[in-house]
Structure 1
Amino acid sequence: MSTSSVSLSPSPSAAPVTPAANAGYALLILTLINLVNYLDRYIVAVALPGIQQEFQINDTQAGLLGTMFILVFMLASPVGGYLGDRYPRRLMVAGGVLLWSLATGASGLATSFVALLVARAVIGIGEAGYGAVAPSIISDLYPREKRTRMLAYFYIAIPVGAAAGYGLGGWLTQAYSWHVAFFAGGIPGLILGALAFFMPEPKRGAMDGPNAETKLPFLVGIKGLGRNAAFWAVTAGYTLMTFSIGGLGFWMPTYLVRERGMLADDSGFRFGAITAVAGLLGTVAGGWLGDKLDRKREGGGLWMSGVGLMLAAPCMYLAVNLKDVGLTFVAIGAAQFLIFLNSGPINAAIVNCVPPAFRAFAMGLNVLCIHLLGDAISPTLIGNIADASSLHTAIAINAVPVLLGGVALLIGARLFRSAVPPAEATA
């Protein structure tokens, strides 16, 4: 089998059809860790007013807390992936979680803005060590026909964890202080990090049959990944989607206050609640439908993702052009549901179209791309468009990347179908 092949799926009748032993325990621990991951990320957003008041920092400096985290996280992710392909992944997960949880607690101990900035950077390192390897572990615990659904369960943690971060962080900051909010945010990770040491360590490619390549020289893997058209098409679609939802999440509450006349706390609560509900329902539905469509046709889940993004684009456009505020929230909810459909199928497509021995690095590289060209720059670019015209226009234009992302995923689905043997051939 060529090491530069797009797919390294097993030969017929070679792949297991049942999950590995203790797969449920590992999936539960990884999902709870992912929830704490996003809880930690969003506590700082609601703690920001108190931090600014205590350290007397302006909005630009406050924004550095988010920028520093995302920059370190995306740059460290390929490194975490490289190590995850070569060393025991459960140790990478446990070490990463413990590191970022200690850094979260250290954020609460910070007595200066610089100390807090360093702590946020360390959180990015810890999360990079975990985020790149967790999907590859799940792919080695579950057979291919179940991966989309299992990865969807894993990614449920994104909307739920974000909502928990807003809720817990807001309550603790209001009732006590932002210091206490960070202390509380670090405790669950310490517990889960300890439990992660007892997760199973599946063999790389365990669910891809005996012909799956489990060892691959790094330069050979890079060469093969560079020619992997399916991987790059999926990454392009994922990046465009991340660009758009990153900008939407950053600016939509402000739009509701500035142009719809809502109160800040009311707009934040409603938008957060819609994100949590639509994200949860969309992620679960996407995992179930993705597995079902993948069994009917190779790349079916990815095709669904592309169609979902193309349908989400007009919903995003309508959200800022409907006069009634209630209908605006309906359009926002519909757009987010259609976008979150993609969490399981997109990530399943990534792990399925690269060699088992190179999955963690591929996930890390994907993380770098979607953030570097996605939500790391979209808030600023949308702000520039808003300064030149209006926030209404900027958010309406933000529907275009979603539409283009849908097109890229449909192209990726076609490339995926032509490169990967049908799932039933490996059952």
Structure 2
Amino acid sequence: MDWKKRPPAVLACLLVIHLLAHIDRNMLLGFSPQVIAELHLSNAQYGFLVGAVWVLSFGAMALVLGSLADRFSRTRVIAAGVLIWSLCTWASGHAQSFGQLVLARFFVASGEAALVPAAVSLLAELFSERRRSTAMGVFFMGIPMGVGCSFLLAGTFGASHGWRATFYALGAAGMALALPLACLREDRTAQAITERGAPFLQQMAAVLRLIRESRPLRHLLAGVVLVHVVFAGLSFTQLWLVKERGMDAAVIATRIGLLQLVFGTLGAVVGGMLGDRAARRLPGGHAALMALLVLLCAPLMIAYRFAEPGSPAFYAGMCAGAFLPLAVYGPANAAIMARVPAHTRSTMTGFSMLCINVFAISAGNLLAGWAIDLLGRQGTASPITYVLLGTDLVAIASAIAFACAARCARRPALAGIHATR
């Protein structure tokens, strides 16, 4: 069976795997009180588990495994990743100490880093440029759906059977999924050397050379990193709403989760579909659409920081913040894939994931926390409000980078128009 002749089925399979990845990734958040109590973790240890351990492993391995996906079978790379992260999810349920859980979660992140670079490259190959953004958007629906399902599982199956049994069940499900996936053959050795990725160092040199030589690509990567600073603000949102807006922690946690699930999923689908239309109709294509999406969401996100809790403006801004980052995934990945050779697509995706995790998520969370503490010590009223407004403005600044990418993309077309006159 030639599975590549069934792109919708491949997309559906990749979405299921992506959904499982984000359930496994976020399940620890759903069980945080139980895990902290049973393993006697400090807040700092828990923060290390869900922060630095994940970012360092996931970001670095995305680059390494992306280069392997450009050189060898992408289905086998994904299958190996699923097997590793599922085995280590199962092992997380056996952890009896902080050190054991750190080790297990480190390899969960390492395994999950195999999925996105290989999957994005596959989708870019299987779907034409006219449908690529939609396919990417559907694939990235796995992020909000996985976050929502992880909390749902924690509150249902987890409440009845405990956190350890939940990790065992998820690990077993993933290992069962990895076996048939590994049977999907993709013989990259039959391709010419120029159509396959090179060894890691050569591949990295090729990717860096592409970035250095392509101004639109540099602007696109900068915009993608900046828009992800929204997630740094999200990390402190519940704390902000409880401490500075006087809302009930349990109530607002449920609402945040529901809105992230609904509007994150909506953003992924709508952004992907609009991306395919924009590529053909808007001057500047995907990049112009992303700049427009940011500018449309910006007023709502800023008003949200000052609106009365529970007001229409308040929830409109919260929904916009959930919608925006997912809405750019489809068009951003489609635009980047269109500017790089096929044999570097997975490595380029891994590089963008590394930049997002290091600069937007890790550094963004660190700087936001530091700024909140600093303003608090100086006696500033509502320090969290000002810091989260700052993260919003940084994310909104991505519109500048996307606009620059759109302008660069228009130049060849404009040159052609002038040449015919």
1:49 corresponds to 2:17: no
- Residues of 2 paired with 1:298 and 1:213: CA distance? 33
Matches within 5 A, 1:12-411: 20-66=4-50, 67-199=52-184, 201=186, 214-215=195-196, 217=198, 218=202, 219-243=205-229, 245-297=230-282, 299-327=284-312, 328-387=314-373, 388=375, 389=380, 390-411=383-404
Structure 1 stretch displaced more, 215-224 or 108-117:
215-224
The aligned amino acid for 2:6 is N
Instruction: Give how far 1:94 is off.
Output: 0.6
The aligned amino acid for 1:334 is A
The aligned amino acid for 2:326 is F
Structure 1 stretch displaced more, 36-45 or 220-229:
220-229
Q: Is the 8 A contact 1:234 1:350 kept in 2?
A: yes
SS at match of 1:57: coil
Scaled by the length of structure 1, the TM-score of the pair is 0.87
* Structure 1 residues not aligned, in runs of 5+: 1-18, 422-427
Q: Is the 8 A contact 2:89 2:170 kept in 1?
A: yes
Q: Cα RMSD between the aligned structures? A: 2.3
Runs of 4+ in 1 over 6 A off after TM superposition: none
Q: Is the 8 A contact 1:317 1:396 kept in 2?
A: yes
Q: Is the 8 A contact 1:20 1:142 kept in 2?
A: no
- Residues of 2 paired with 1:420 and 1:349: CA distance? 16
Q: Is the 8 A contact 1:260 1:325 kept in 2?
A: no
The aligned amino acid for 1:229 is R
**Residues 190 and 296 of structure 1, relative CA distance in 2, 3 Å threshold:** same
**Residues 98 and 382 of structure 1, relative CA distance in 2, 3 Å threshold:** same
Scaled by the length of structure 2, the TM-score of the pair is 0.88
- Residues of 1 paired with 2:306 and 2:122: CA distance? 43
Structure 1 residue aligned with 2:405: 412
The aligned amino acid for 2:160 is A
CA deviations over 1:316-373 (Å, ceiling 9, x no partner) = 2211201142331222113322332211001111111111010111001110001100
The aligned amino acid for 1:214 is E
Q: Is the 8 A contact 2:207 2:348 kept in 1?
A: no
Structure 2 residue aligned with 1:7: none
Q: Is the 8 A contact 2:86 2:108 kept in 1?
A: yes
- Residues of 2 paired with 1:176 and 1:112: CA distance? 20
* Structure 2 residues not aligned, in runs of 5+: 415-421
Q: Is the 8 A contact 2:282 2:289 kept in 1?
A: no
Instruction: Give how far 1:391 is off.
Output: 0.9
